[in-house]
């Protein structure tokens, strides 16, 4: 079985000789990076994406078992293979129970390492293909809510790590129930598809994610976006939807379909703490905090509706005691 190409592999090992030996075996698989400590390895994983990690068992500072547990906590889908001089069953059991996908003892056969790495890369590729199929909303072709939450979690973690701003936008089709009542649900679906494409056309940067949140509501995650530029993107989205001139006889706002938007932005302090592996929160905890930003955007959206619809409201412009009285937003929960 030929070795898969173009993989991004990270070797975490405090022994330069061990790193060189593995690199000699794996360089044909793609790009091989290395870190000489557990802490450095975790930092590398926080800065870019990898397809596979090869990990030493015994290292000064954070040992391999601790590193593996932290990796699986933050990147549960990332396969980890231990490569170690340990060959006792107890070490292998502990490694596998910490989340590792495989365990290779030194001295090893180059062919065995290639075969096991290839197996993990293929499993990762298959899993990604299946995952991509369940992360798309079938009606609009946008990311679905699950994909949005993953993107939000990823960007929220990056914001905490690098101190970059993060904006979230909630967008809702105005008077959509009236549209369905007047034109029928099939036409309503057609409107949602057109609105989705309009939103997508306005958020095209690599880190931007436009998702169908539920019903006629959409969520947009804008990475590295301060509040003012995010509001500008929202205004562009509203204008693009207006330009569609989709008739809406049931609307009391305009004779055509319009949307309203709420924007919320997280501006971390300039001295935001760097990644601290020993105190890292779980993905569930981070997502719960990140969803507060969605709630704030939902509050701003509510005020856009109250203020007359077909407009953008920023949460930053609302008074501190703003509430969502008599409003029941879509329940938010950590998946």
Active-site annotation, residues: 216
Asked if 313 and 304 touch (Cβ cutoff 8 Å), the reply is: yes
Alpha-carbon span 78 to 199, nearest angstrom: 32
Q: Which residue bears the tokens 């990823």? A: 154
Alpha-carbon span 129 to 133, nearest angstrom: 7
Provide CB contacts within 8 A for 235, sequence distance 6+.
312
Asked if 259 and 233 touch (Cβ cutoff 8 Å), the reply is: no
Alpha-carbon span 226 to 27, nearest angstrom: 40
Give 28's DSSP letter: G
Sign, CA torsion 280/283/289/294: positive
| Residue 74 tokens, joined | 């933050």
Asked if 166 and 155 touch (Cβ cutoff 8 Å), the reply is: yes
- Contacts of 87-93 with CB under 8 Å at 24 or more apart are 91/57
| Residue-wise DSSP of 81-119 | EEEES---HHHHHHHHHTT-SEEEESS--HHHHHHHHHH
Phi and psi at residue 120, to the nearest 5°: -65, -40
Provide CB contacts within 8 A for 17, sequence distance 6+.
none
């Amino acid at each position: 079985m030929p070795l898969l190409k173009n993989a991004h592999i990270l070797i975490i090992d405090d022994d330069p000789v061990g790193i060189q030996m593995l690199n000699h075996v794996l360089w044909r698989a793609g790009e091989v990076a290395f870190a000489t400590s557990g802490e450095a390895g975790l930092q590398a994983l926080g800065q870019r994406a990898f397809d596979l990690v090869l990990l030493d068992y015994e290292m000064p500072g954070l040992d391999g078992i601790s590193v593996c547990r932290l990796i699986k906590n933050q990147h549960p889908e990332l396969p980890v293979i231990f490569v170690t001089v340990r060959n006792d069953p107890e070490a292998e059991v502990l490694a596998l129970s910490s989340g590792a996908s495989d365990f290779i003892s030194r001295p090893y056969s180059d062919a065995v390492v290639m075969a096991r790495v290839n197996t993990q890369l293929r499993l990762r590729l298959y899993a990604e293909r299946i995952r991509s199929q369940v992360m798309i909303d079938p009606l609009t072709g946008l990311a679905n809510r699950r994909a949005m939450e993953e993107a939000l979690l990823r960007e929220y973690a990056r914001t905490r790590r690098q101190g970059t701003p993060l904006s979230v936008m909630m967008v809702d089709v105005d008077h959509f129930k009236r549209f369905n009542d007047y034109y029928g649900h099939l036409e309503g679906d057609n409107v949602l598809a057109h609105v989705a494409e309009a939103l997508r056309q306005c958020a095209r940067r690599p880190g931007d994610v436009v998702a169908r949140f539920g019903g006629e509501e959409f969520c947009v995650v804008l990475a590295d976006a301060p509040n003012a530029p995010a509001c500008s993107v929202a205004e562009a989205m509203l204008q693009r939807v207006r330009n569609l001139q989709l008739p809406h006889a049931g609307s009391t706002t305009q004779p055509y379909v319009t949307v309203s938007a709420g924007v919320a932005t997280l501006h971390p302090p300039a001295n935001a703490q760097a990644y601290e592996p020993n105190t890292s929160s779980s993905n569930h905890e981070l997502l719960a905090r990140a969803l507060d930003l969605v709630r704030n955007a939902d509050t701003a959206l509510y005020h856009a509706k109250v203020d007359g619809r077909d407009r953008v409201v920023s949460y930053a412009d609302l008074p501190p005691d703003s509430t969502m009285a008599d409003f029941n937003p879509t329940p938010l929960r950590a998946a």
